């Protein structure tokens, strides 16, 4: 799009800030105004318009009008994304008859999200594979990314239509928090303010740690592999090919793990602990070997990251759904707060890491391996400590 790097950074920051603000607002609104179906449809419309128009017109990113157009479309997209995400998540406690069914729906939802990541990856690869100058993607490839956008948008809209048709007889079950308050049978069971419940902060911290671990790994694994390309051994070993394939391995392993988790017999807290151990083992491995890794070790580490990230994300969402269903809170508000902490932490973490990278000497050879080892390792440890507070100090009246 020929957008200057400073302008691109501003647009990305605008999207992150909008997403962070829109998430809790969307959660509160979805619980109290209208229906989840209406908000989900509205969010889908916003996402479709915003995402499509970003790639539909190739504006010159150097003028203020183009920046204003892109900013408006990004804001529209992020608001729509928040509405879709929160309304969809908040349907789980309403549709599920018990915690087991809630866990199944949560696991299936995460499995579908991993499939989406694989589809995007494969679509991008299929469209770009014939480009002889693939290593230098630039403005001349705009039409290729426009094609990718149309394919992905078409698949997404088709999935939404199937979703609406599949739930056509279940929409009456998706009662809002306001409707629950008006039901005399449940009126005395509903707490006045879920923010006064300590467990909401524990669950939020749990999900934040899980999501942050996965996000940081997906961002910095390619940079870590690129960092290794400066080594003569890495070039001989064909490490360049792993820059594309390692993230794909993480997606595939996450998909397989999510399917296996659907048949788990242990409690969510125990499963989360095992997932955290897998996550920490990957970080420790990177910390020990640094950049001196073979391709086999790289793929093994990717497997550990996929298992750990998938396990902790699924179980943290299951615990959140259990919390909502056990206490009668509005699902939108709870999911809005939980995901808000994730978005805020992710934005701050990436900003801090990049600022630190710019402050260090350019000759610092192991920066990204240190990020994967120490930052991701500490994040996994934080999740482990968070689940310990739920396991060792349960709050029985709050449903866990």
Closest CA to 27 of 43, 15, 14: 43
Q: Which residue is listed with tokens 């490839």?
A: 141
Mapped onto helix, strand or coil, the DSSP state of residue 175 is coil
Q: Is 363's pLDDT higher than 70?
A: no
User: What confidence score (pLDDT) does residue 20 get?
Assistant: 84
Give the mean pLDDT of the chain.
80
* Tens digits of residue pLDDT in 372-387: 999 999 999 999 998 8
Residue with tokens 């349960």: 394
Among 74-78, 138-142, 364-368, whose mean pLDDT is lowest?
A: 138-142
Q: What span, in angstroms and rounded, lies between the C-alpha atoms of 15 and 72?
A: 10
* 7-16, 68-77, 177-186, 262-271, range with greatest mean pLDDT: 68-77
Residue 289 near residue 382 (C-beta atoms within 8 A): no
Under a CB-based contact definition with an 8 Å cutoff, are residues 275 and 207 in contact? no
- pLDDT tens digits along 186-211: 444 444 566 667 777 888 889 999 99
pTM over 0.95: no
Rounded CA-CA distance 247/261 in Å is: 21
Tens of pLDDT, residues 159-188: 999 988 887 666 555 555 455 444 444 444
Give me the domains of the chain, ranges plus CATH numbers. 5-392 (1.20.1250.20)
User: 95 vs 325, which has greater pLDDT?
Assistant: 95
* Nearest Cα to Cα of residue 260 among 302, 314, 218: 314
Hey, what are 130's tokens?
């014939």
């Amino acid at each position: 799009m020929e957008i200057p790097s400073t302008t691109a950074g501003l647009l990305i920051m605008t999207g992150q800030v909008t997403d962070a603000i829109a998430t809790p607002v969307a959660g509160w609104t979805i619980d109290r105004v209208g229906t989840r179906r209406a908000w989900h449809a509205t969010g889908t419309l916003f996402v479709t318009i915003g995402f499509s128009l970003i790639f539909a017109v190739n504006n010159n990113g150097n003028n203020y009008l183009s920046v204003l157009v892109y900013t408006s479309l990004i804001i529209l997209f992020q608001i729509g994304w928040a509405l879709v995400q929160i309304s969809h998540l908040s349907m789980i406690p309403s549709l599920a008859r018990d915690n087991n069914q809630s866990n199944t729906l949560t696991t299936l939802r995460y499995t579908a999200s991993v499939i989406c990541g694989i589809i995007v990856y494969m679509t991008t690869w299929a469209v770009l594979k014939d480009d002889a100058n693939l290593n230098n993607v630039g403005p001349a490839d705009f039409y290729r990314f426009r094609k990718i956008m149309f394919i992905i948008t078409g698949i997404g809209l088709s999935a939404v239509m199937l979703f609406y048709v599949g739930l056509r007889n279940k929409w009456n079950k998706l009662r809002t928090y306001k409707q629950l308050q008006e039901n005399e049978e449940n009126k005395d069971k509903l707490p006045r303010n879920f923010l006064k419940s300590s467990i909401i902060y524990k669950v939020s911290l749990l999900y934040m740690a899980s999501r942050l671990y996965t996000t940081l790994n997906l961002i910095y694994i390619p940079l870590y592999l690129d960092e290794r390309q400066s080594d003569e051994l890495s070039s001989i070993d064909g490490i360049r090919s792993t820059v594309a394939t390692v993230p794909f391995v993480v997606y595939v392993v996450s998909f397989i793990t999510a399917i296996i988790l659907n048949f788990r017999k242990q409690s969510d807290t125990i499963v989360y602990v095992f997932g955290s151990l897998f996550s920490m083992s990957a970080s420790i491995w990177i910390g020990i070997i640094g950049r001196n890794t073979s391709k086999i070790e790289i793929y093994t580490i990717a497997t550990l990251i996929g298992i750990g990230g998938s396990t902790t994300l699924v179980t943290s969402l299951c615990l959140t759904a259990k919390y909502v269903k056990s206490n009668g809170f509005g699902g939108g508000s709870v999911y809005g707060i939980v995901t808000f902490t994730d978005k805020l932490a992710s934005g701050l973490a990436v900003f801090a890491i990049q600022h630190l990278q710019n402050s260090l000497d350019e000759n610092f050879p192991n920066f990204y391996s240190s990020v994967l080892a120490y930052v991701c390792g500490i994040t996994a440890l934080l999740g482990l400590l968070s689940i310990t507070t739920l396991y060792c100090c349960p709050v029985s009246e709050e449903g866990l």
